[in-house]
Amino acid sequence: MSKDQNTKFKPYISATDLIPEFTLKAIILGSLFGIIFGAATVYLGLKVGLTVSASIPIAVLSISVIKKFGKATILENNMVQTIGSAGESVAAGVVFTIPALLFLPGGSEYFQYFQIFVLALAGGILGILFMIPLRRSIIVKEHGKLPFPEGTACADVLIAGEKGGKLAQKVFYGLGIAFAYKTLMSLFGLWKDVPRYIFSKTSALPNGTVNGEITPELLGVGYIIGPKIAGIMVGGGVLSWLVLIPLITLLGEHMTSVFAPATKLISEMSAAEIWSNYIRYIGAGAVTFGGVVTLIRSFPTIINAFKDSFKDLKESKENGNIEKSRTEKDIPLIYVLVGSVILVILMAIIPSIPTNILSSIMIVVFGFFFVTVSSRIVGLIGSSSNPISGMTIATLMATALIFVAVGWTGELYQPVVLVVGSIVCIASANAGATSQDLKTGYIVGATPVKQQLGLLIGVLASAVVIGYTIILLNDILVIGSDQLPAPQATLMATVIKGLLSQNLPWGLVLVGMGIAAVMELSGVRSLPFAVGAYLPLSVSTPIFVGGLVKLTVDKIKKIDESESDIGPGALLSSGLIAGGALTGILIASLKGWIWETKNGIEISVADKLNTGLGESLGLTGDLISLLIFLVMAGVLFAFALSKNKEEA
């Protein structure tokens, strides 16, 4: 965009207007929302391996809640969502990587609160600092070219909120519905969490599995990501659980020897064991291929981003003495450089963090590279679709290969590789959210330097709580179990162990890569398909139902799926996601609260409250559970069809 085009843009609040923005109530409320949505993101990421942007629901809630404390300006509401979204994005980066420590030799000793806090804080701050020099080239100069879907939609919400209204009620309704539904299902056990049917080994589909984790948060995720991605995801799940597992069962029925990497005969394995020994490596190969292809597809964008960024840095240096207006002020570049260097040095010298000089250098190199990639990609496809997994896998593979080249192949170096990947992942995730927030601020007329300070506060607030949340969930539900499969973290651990120990079952991995290649050649984006193939089918099916609800609503309302959606359905879904995840954390804490001990067996509060009714009904219980879930889907459908009254 030329300078003439750029000067035509007028923000909602003029640069010459000075109104309250960086206020105490905005900081407190933003930090609170960051903690709440950060905790919900931790649960959702461990459960599903996916996250969704929280900026829009936080903006909607802010407009409603902050009015209870007196009149608020649009810039105060923007500050709330800026601080809050930082918490959610840091949590996403943390939950995708750091739990992998539990699956690495010697890694569990680093899975402590202090280490999680330091990694979350360092990654979050680096993401903000590295993104600051890119703001003018990506946010300002590309205005009108990069759509920034969530950032623009969030600005629309904030501007509409100036007129008053009650859109926030939809989010609160979602919170209430999710709390009631999940409490009755998961705490009191009135119906099953996961209705399922597994075909017998003598059937035409041996070990084939059909199931669904019928929770409100997964239904909400499906609605928000839409029918296309939801359909591709469930397609990957169908391939794994209704094609590959039955095929492996059939082929292994008469095998008399063990097929590595398993340690028992295929004929003796359940569907879950076949997934653990074979399918997860196939899925890992597919996800790796999908992530790399996503990055390759983004190369032109990456190159242009670097060109523009360095050109802008040169212009900023030349014009350094020119007085800038309020809406053009960033944190000074010298603070960015000094802060980044100090952080990296601290990472290299803190004894309890598994790093060294080489890994610290790689954090800087890969961190700045993927922060630039992430900041620009979200401008095209949004934060929720940002391929953070692919960037992290690429970082892990490059780091591991460098370590192998210098002879660092022992188990001692596996946590070191993960630390590089985790900080890059957190920085990239937070840079994407920062980019969206600064875009929102650019449209409404916020002060960039104040937003950047707010983002730093949001990182600190969420980093304090994220570690406690992850440790609590691991102590009670166990990360890596069926209740918290942590698909992204287990994938990261698989990649690291396989590359450094050089014993990855490459045959299975290459099969997965081949499947992903077939999807790409067929015109289907392979990454969501690969994620679906890697996850349990129980996760994909309720997401698919949510996608079907969205598809039906869009057809009736004649809405293009690519359009930004801030209507009643999206807002209710945001409430379902947050409410379901937070209720899951509450129930997990009740499972850790011991009520009594009988005959040496500890009975928790959750055990005491659970009636077991759903499990006692057998197949009838499965059908009742499905019916109740469909009723909730019907409620979402009805809300989504209700008229949007221009309220926020």
Write down the domain spans for the chain. Answer: 3-163+298-499
Q: Which residues contact 130 (CB under 8 A, 6 or more apart)?
A: 336, 340, 367, 368, 371, 372, 427, 431
Mean of pLDDT values over 387-398 = 79
Per DSSP, the residues of 282-305 read: HHHHHHHHHHHHHHHHTHHHHHHH
The 10s digit of each residue's pLDDT in 622-638 is 999 999 999 999 999 99
Look up residue 103 and give its two tokens: 């699956």
Per DSSP, the residues of 351-405 read: TTS---HHHHHHHHHHHHHHHHHHHHHHHHH-STT--HHHHHHHHHHHHHHHHHH
Upper half-sphere CA count for residue 75 (Cβ side, 13 Å): 22
- Exposure of 488 by Cβ count < 10 A (0-12 exposed, 13-18 middle, 19+ buried)? buried
Mean of pLDDT values over 142-169 = 72
**Alpha carbon distance 633, 326 (integer Å):** 46
Neighbours of 169 (CB within 10 A): 16
CA distances from 210 to 242, 323, 541 (A): 8, 64, 9
Report helix angle 388-405 to 357-381, nearest 10.
160
What's the pLDDT score for residue 320? Answer: 55
- C-alpha angle 141-143-144 in degrees, rounded to nearest 5: 135
Task: State phi, psi for 198 to the nearest 5 degrees.
Answer: -115, 120
pLDDT at 130 over 50: yes
Q: What percent of the chain has pLDDT over 90?
A: 33
218 SS3 class: helix
What's the pLDDT score for residue 167? Answer: 62
The 10s digit of each residue's pLDDT in 171-183 is 788 889 999 999 9
pLDDT confidence of 16, banded at 50, 70, 90?
confident
Beta bridge partners of 143: 146
> Looking at 64-78, 124-138, 605-619, which range is the least confident one?
64-78
Report helix angle 216-239 to 526-534, nearest 10.
100
Q: What's the whole-number average pLDDT of the chain?
A: 84
Which comes out higher in pLDDT, residue 22 or 260?
A: 22
Q: What percent of the chain has pLDDT over 70?
A: 89
Mean of pLDDT values over 221-245 = 90
pLDDT at 460 over 90: yes
What's the pLDDT score for residue 317? Answer: 60
Mean of pLDDT values over 159-187 = 81
Closest CA to 516 of 243, 232, 115: 232
pLDDT at 274 over 50: yes
> Looking at 62-71, 274-283, 401-410, 446-455, which range is the least confident one?
62-71
Whether residue 141 contacts residue 488, with contact meaning beta carbons closer than 8 Å, is answered with no
Mean of pLDDT values over 435-450 = 92
What's the pLDDT score for residue 3? Answer: 44
What's the pLDDT score for residue 597? Answer: 79
**Alpha carbon distance 180, 214 (integer Å):** 14
Q: Which residues contact 281 (CB under 8 A, 6 or more apart)?
A: 261, 494, 504, 505, 508, 509, 512
What's the pLDDT score for residue 469? Answer: 92
> Looking at 156-165, 267-276, 346-355, 514-523, which range is the least confident one?
156-165
What's the pLDDT score for residue 577? Answer: 81
Beta bridge partners of 3: none
Task: State phi, psi for 307 to the nearest 5 degrees.
Answer: -60, -50
What's the pLDDT score for residue 381? Answer: 55
pLDDT confidence of 59, banded at 50, 70, 90?
confident
What's the pLDDT score for residue 646? Answer: 45
Upper half-sphere CA count for residue 182 (Cβ side, 13 Å): 26
Which comes out higher in pLDDT, residue 333 or 516?
A: 516
pLDDT at 614 over 90: no
What's the pLDDT score for residue 648? Answer: 41
Residue with tokens 């009742």: 624
Exposure b/e, 356-395, CB count within 10 A at least 16 = b: eebbbebbbebbbbbbbbbbbbbbebbbbbbbbbbbbbbb
The 10s digit of each residue's pLDDT in 302-360 is 566 566 656 656 666 665 555 678 888 888 878 888 888 888 888 888 888 888 888 98
What's the pLDDT score for residue 6? Answer: 45
